[in-house]
Amino acid sequence: MNNNKIEFLTIDVLTASKRRIADIINSFDHVAVAFSGGKDSLVCINLVEEVYRDLGKKEKVNVLFRDEELIPEDVIEFVQSIYKSGRFNFKYFAYPTVSEKYILGKKESYIQWDPNRKHIRPMPNFAITDKTKAISQYMQDDLIAESFGFRGRTCFITGIRSAESLTRFAAIVAKRNKPYIAGTKSKHVFLGRPIYDWSEKDIFRYMYERKIQYCEIYDNQVFNRQALRVATPLIADSSKRIGQLKTLYPKFYNQLVDLFPEVEVQARYFNELDRYGIMDRYEHSFKGIIMYINDNLTDPEIKAVALSRVRSCALNRANKIKGGATNLGGYPVLHVFKAIVNGSYRRQIQPKSVPSSQELEFEGISYKK
């Protein structure tokens, strides 16, 4: 049994997370917390501040926020209240960023803070930005590190928790040595995930015991019977519930429809859409997934990322099967196809340990109990 498993079994998640943060601080030249306005990253800010005090560090915690423009007003107000408090060395970024919107099964690109269209709200005058070009989200880490004046190895601590997603769980526990640290496309910037094993109850208990005020969006989401998440509404996972914005944030919803009228179509007809039905129009193979990408993803950068993910999955599957794997190498075609249709390919698509009967049947493999 490795040390990480021993740690998980023998100490509580709070103690474990603080040990991980201390290790991150000691292992990197610079550390900053990536804040989203959400509960998980809010806990991380406070945990890092606690560890700073434990270590006798007197400087303010570095905090960064990426304003993705299409964010409800109460989240923005909450983030800006923390920014203006002066408690942290807080940098607020609002780069024009290539992103994607998911409307009735189709993914199209758009640019957050596009200088060539009106915005959903004014950009804050204190935001760090670059109005000359749109910057890929994958290329911003180095720019943000430079804005802080960081030189050397840097870790951005995030509030990622494995309980939110089986894919996240697989990605984290698959790494045997320090699973709470992950790489990025940058050679110098890494991601820290010190609360990866916390549950939602752990999050709210921590905030309750320390009397930490969180963003009121979560109370509103409880009354609206929504999952407790802070995310832009046009990504694949959020867009299927976009109609709920009408009751939760009617002003924000109307502003969104004013910018992107097709949102109203998504809200009205999503429940009638079989978003996976489109997969049956294509060959049930990696070749079929590539054809789907070429037909449906219009932005060259997004398309390139999706194609790269599929080719990586196909190569990993082929190599593992040669090595004797009997689980389709961890990459059933249907599993990969759904990840592409869902838009879940910003990071590497994670393997599955056991394919489902549906995934076997998708490839014409007989299923035996």
Place 228 in a pLDDT band, splitting at 50, 70 and 90.
Answer: very low
Mean pLDDT of the 333-352 span: 86
Place 194 in a pLDDT band, splitting at 50, 70 and 90.
Answer: very high
Least confident stretch, 131-135, 206-210, 262-266: 262-266
**Residue labelled with tokens 């900053």:** 32
Give CA separation, 354 vs 24, 317, 325, 330, 332, in Å.
33, 13, 11, 7, 9
Q: What percentage of the chain has pLDDT greater than the value 90?
A: 44
Size (the chain), residues: 369
**Other residues' Cβ atoms within 10 Å of the Cβ of residue 152:** 9
pLDDT digits 0-9 by tens, 142-187: 999 999 999 999 999 999 887 654 444 555 555 567 888 988 888 8
Q: Is the pLDDT of residue 273 over 60?
A: no
- Domains along the sequence of the chain with CATH: 3-207 (3.40.50.620), 277-362 (no CATH)
At 343 the pLDDT is 79
At 8 the pLDDT is 41
Pairing of strands 189-192, 181-183: antiparallel
Q: Is the pLDDT of residue 240 over 70?
A: no
The Cα–Cα gap between 34 and 39 comes to 12
Q: Is the pLDDT of residue 10 over 80?
A: no
Q: Is the pLDDT of residue 207 over 80?
A: yes
At 231 the pLDDT is 66
3-state helix, strand, coil in the chain (%, to 5): 50, 10, 40
At 90 the pLDDT is 98
Q: Which of 8-12, 62-66, 160-164 reaches the highest mean pLDDT?
A: 62-66
Least confident stretch, 28-32, 169-173, 279-283: 169-173
Least confident stretch, 15-24, 186-195, 232-241: 232-241
The Cα–Cα gap between 8 and 135 comes to 39
pLDDT digits 0-9 by tens, 250-261: 888 888 889 888
Q: Three-state SS for 175?
A: coil
Place 135 in a pLDDT band, splitting at 50, 70 and 90.
Answer: confident
Regarding predicted confidence, which is higher, 6 or 347? 347
Regarding predicted confidence, which is higher, 275 or 42? 42
Regarding predicted confidence, which is higher, 253 or 103? 253
CB 316 within 8 A of CB 330: yes
Burial label for 229, CB within 10 Å (0-12, 13-18, 19+), is: middle
At 272 the pLDDT is 54
Give CA separation, 235 vs 102, 173, 245, in Å.
6, 26, 14
Alpha helices in the chain (DSSP H): 3-10, 13-27, 39-55, 73-85, 140-148, 166-173, 200-209, 217-223, 236-239, 245-248, 250-259, 262-269, 286-296, 300-322, 333-342, 357-362
Contacts of 75 (CB under 8 A, 6+ apart): 37, 38, 215, 217, 230
- Average pLDDT along the chain: 84
**Residue labelled with tokens 């915690």:** 61
